[in-house]
Amino acid sequence: MSQRPAQTTTKEPTLKTAIITGITGQDGAYLAELLLGKGYRVIGTYRRSSSVNFWRLDMLGVRHHPDLQLREFDLTDLSNCIRLLSDSQPDEVYNLAAQSFVGVSFEQPLTTADISGIGVLNLLEAIRIVDKGIRFYQASTSELYGKVQQIPQTEDTPFYPRSPYAVAKLFGHWSVVNYRESYDLFASSGILFNHESPLRGKEFVTRKITDRVARLADGDPAPLRLGNMDAKRDWGYAKEYVDGMWRMLQHERADTFVLATNETHSVRDFVSWAFAAVDKHIDWQGSGDTEQGRDSQTGQLLVEVDPAFYRPAEVELLIGDYRKAKEALGWSPQTDVAQLCKMMVDSDRQKIANGVSF
């Protein structure tokens, strides 16, 4: 491994340098908070765009941390990947950057393949060229399992991706395994099941729900419009999952690990919990495209199905078995999903009270 630059800081001595690609996203922000708290020097990458997107780092109060450096970067450019690694000389690279919205991947399959698939290979090649001692984490996903082959899903369950996003992530996942086996890189893949938080993007179903429920409670009457409410997910708390990522790179050898809660619930369940958090209870009526949810006391329309949100192919049921991570890494989930849902509703109500829209 190449020599690391000596670090100085006014607080704790810096132990290691980590790169986080995708620091503007949900997981990137929580991981930055975690690593800075451990004394790391963190280099977080963001994309050049017309509007700055640092609200999550601001919410966590880490944007101006003295050991955090923000750097422009695009994963789809190999030369950019090589420069990022050779300039920063990291000990660890966490590749969280992706086009991560499954719905959009059906509309933008090539962009998704480029970022979420080839982008992984760009970083692996950059590591092979710059410094084979760098430890690499790849953000793999339970979407790899797709059409149900076996439940609960483990590291050994066969994959059957059901979206351009999942196909791209499959390429990334197997590239990590291949580089580990071919070049002896310390490259680990975390197959993470859905994880949510107040920092979740509003395009994802949990935050879309909690945001609309908070607005309904604030007097805005527009109902929540959703696609497939029968889909079942294994939802955990994002802040706990980034700790699992870090543990994977501290482990004695690179490997593949599932992080999950081993519980599954439908989108409809999540809707009911969110309304319960503002003391509203739902009467469900109809089915399929005509299903509606009404306030059990006033009859107000609160939820309706909009087939525009259906996907061309759906992942119906995810439930993960995290025993390997528990045994090897000492990791296990702590937050119950209904508790998590309430935390998100409360946070969205607070954002409305503060007049902020992210």
For ligand GDR, the binding residues (CB under 6 A) are: 100, 102-103, 141-143, 194, 203-205, 208, 226-228, 231, 233, 267, 309, 311, 314-315
Q: Quickly count: other Cβ atoms within 10 Å of residue 307's Cβ.
A: 9
What minimum distance in Å lies between the beta carbon of 226 and ligand GDR? 4
One DSSP character per residue, 323-343 reads: HHHHHHH-------HHHHHHH
Among ligand NDP, ligand GDR, none, partner that 309 touches (CB below 5 to 8 angstroms by kind) = ligand GDR
* Nearest alpha-carbon partner for 260 in 322, 329, 313, 347: 322
Distance in angstroms between the alpha carbons of the first and the last residue of the chain: 41
What minimum distance in Å lies between the beta carbon of 199 and ligand NDP? 8
What minimum distance in Å lies between the beta carbon of 119 and ligand NDP? 6
Residue among 30, 40, 137, 165 flagged as catalytic: 165
When the beta carbons of 92 and 234 are compared against ligand GDR, the nearer one is 234
Give SS3 for 106.
Answer: helix
Task: Check residue 2 and give left, alpha or beta (phi > 0: left; psi -120 to 50: alpha).
Answer: beta
Size of the site for ligand NDP (CB under 6 A): 28
For tokens 């087939």, what's the residue?
A: 307
Cα-based distances in Å from 142 to 88, 174, 208: 31, 14, 20
Q: Which region among 90-98, 209-217, 281-289, 341-349 touches ligand NDP (by CB under 6 A)?
A: 90-98
Q: Which helix (H) or strand (E) holds 98?
A: none
* Nearest alpha-carbon partner for 280 in 209, 204, 207: 209
**Residue 46 falls in the annotated catalytic set:** no
When the beta carbons of 139 and 176 are compared against ligand NDP, the nearer one is 139
- Residue 27 found at the interface with ligand NDP (CB under 6 A): yes
Binding mask 194-213 for ligand NDP (x = CB under 6 A): xx-----x------------
Among ligand GDR, ligand NDP, none, partner that 27 touches (CB below 5 to 8 angstroms by kind) = ligand NDP
Are 42 and 18 in contact by the 8 Å Cβ rule? The answer is yes
Q: Which region among 9-17, 43-51, 155-163, 249-257 touches ligand NDP (by CB under 6 A)?
A: 43-51
Residue among 30, 33, 112, 143 flagged as catalytic: 143
What minimum distance in Å lies between the beta carbon of 231 and ligand GDR? 3
Q: Which of 47, 83, 147, 208 binds ligand NDP (CB under 6 A)?
A: 47
Tokens linked to 80: 């950019």
What minimum distance in Å lies between the beta carbon of 335 and ligand GDR? 17
The footprint of ligand NDP on residues 107-146 (CB under 6 A) is 115, 139, 141
**Residue 145 falls in the annotated catalytic set:** no
Q: Quickly count: other Cβ atoms within 10 Å of residue 196's Cβ.
A: 25
When the beta carbons of 130 and 258 are compared against ligand GDR, the nearer one is 258
What sign does the CA torsion over 116, 102, 169, 135 have? positive
Cα-based distances in Å from 29 to 33, 46, 59, 164: 6, 11, 9, 26
* Nearest alpha-carbon partner for 21 in 56, 40, 46: 46
Among ligand NDP, ligand GDR, none, partner that 311 touches (CB below 5 to 8 angstroms by kind) = ligand GDR
Cα–Cα distance measured from residue 237 to residue 1, given in angstroms and rounded to the nearest whole number: 35
What minimum distance in Å lies between the beta carbon of 60 and ligand NDP? 13
Cα–Cα distance measured from residue 287 to residue 282, given in angstroms and rounded to the nearest whole number: 14
Among ligand NDP, ligand GDR, none, partner that 53 touches (CB below 5 to 8 angstroms by kind) = ligand NDP
Closest residue to bound ligand NDP by CB: 25
Q: What is the DSSP letter of 60?
A: H
**Residue 141 falls in the annotated catalytic set:** yes
* Nearest alpha-carbon partner for 53 in 77, 35, 29, 34: 29
Residue among 14, 141, 157, 335 flagged as catalytic: 141
Tokens linked to 5: 């630059």
- Residue 88 found at the interface with ligand NDP (CB under 6 A): no
- Residue 97 found at the interface with ligand NDP (CB under 6 A): yes
What minimum distance in Å lies between the beta carbon of 19 and ligand NDP? 11
Residues with active-site annotation: 141, 143, 165
